[in-house]
Amino acid sequence: MSTAPSLLDRIDLFIRIRARKLNKRLTRRFRAVFDHDVSERCITTDGFTYGTSDRRVVDAFAELDTDTAINAFTVVHRFAPTDLVKLFDHYGSDKGTVALDHGPGAAYPWTAHTYGHFYDQLFRPMRSTTRLLFECGLGTSSPQFGANMGVKGKPGASLRAWRDFFPNAHIHGADIDRDCLFQEERITTAYVDQTDPAAINAMWEGLALRDLDIIIDDGLHTFSAGSTLFTHSFHRLRQGGVYVIEDIVSGELPQYHRFFADQQINYQLVAGLRSVHTDKGPARRIKDNNFIVVVR
């Protein structure tokens, strides 16, 4: 014999249904807006941020938090390149500008991730005070390694951009390809295998770094590698420091969500979608144009 639901159960069910309907209605409304000349867009919910135009991102989180109502949204219009975007483009980093047509001289054969505009807003208040920045992944051009920039890639491109953007910072980088390591003015690099905790710890011991302002993971771009590096590196940040995990495949977003939820670590997911309309049509959208930001 079934038991009739209590008043609280009925109220809870009503709230859940209303939240789902609100989410779907706003998603349809925002998608109609985002089909126009908007370069990056995201919706921020209580637990995460996702781009409403990317079904992969929405579907990835549907199983986790279908009852989270949308409480804010942000549309970023890119009318002109910022200082940081110009630096990424100058040095050949794929964090810069959307390029619809990569010519034979292009440094990389895919559409840019276009993180530069968001980074410019995120890091500009820290521009003069940042002293230590670390980035995993130099952008090897060797096909021997899975996460490479192609034969025309320019290893160290983003490190040089960071150096020029942060005038008082020393930039540290690391990569699994020993052949692309280098030293320049205010840039130091080291070897690391970010899938190996022992190699990560050895790298940190060799660099002797603590209280970093910024750590960026632009390495292997898998959940296993990203979570391993985070586990053995996050404590190296100063209080208030920023940790970024780049190029997250949409299908791995639920794994990251559970990873941070288990540790009760607040995070923001930014889905950097692109829809740049020209006479050549819209830019391609790619499934790994997402990144996570954690503030210690």
- Measured CA to CA, the distance from residue 165 to residue 227 in angstroms comes to 28
Q: Rounded CA gap, 225 and 155, in Å?
A: 20
210: buried, middle or exposed (CB in 10 Å: 19+, 13-18, 0-12)? exposed
pLDDT, residue 89, reads 85
Is the separation of the CB atoms in 273 and 285 below 8 Å? Answer: yes
> pLDDT at position 3, please?
61
The SS3 assignment for 52 reads coil
Nearest in space to 272 (alpha carbons), one of 256, 294, 292, 251: 292
Residue 69 phi/psi, 5-degree rounding, is: -80, 145
- Site of tokens 């390591």: 181
Reply yes or no on domain 86-247 having CATH 3.40.50.150: yes
Q: Is 247 helix (H, G, I), strand (E, B) or coil?
A: coil
- In a structure prediction context, what are the per-residue pLDDT tens digits for the chain, which is 296 residues long? 556 666 666 655 655 555 555 555 444 444 443 333 333 334 333 333 334 334 444 454 444 443 333 333 334 445 567 889 889 888 888 887 755 445 555 666 666 677 888 888 899 999 999 999 999 998 766 667 667 655 666 788 999 999 999 999 999 999 999 998 999 999 999 999 999 999 999 999 999 999 999 999 998 889 999 999 999 999 999 999 999 999 888 788 888 988 998 999 988 887 755 544 344 454 455 567 788 999 99
Residue 153 has what pLDDT?
65
178 exposure class (CB count in 10 Å sphere: 0-12, 13-18, 19+): exposed
> Tell me, what's the pLDDT at 229?
98
Q: What's the predicted TM-score (pTM) here?
A: 0.73
Give domain limits for the chain: 7-75, 86-247
Residue 154's pLDDT is what? 77
Cβ 83 vs Cβ 118: under 8 Å = no
| Pairwise CA distance, residues 218 & 158, whole Å | 10
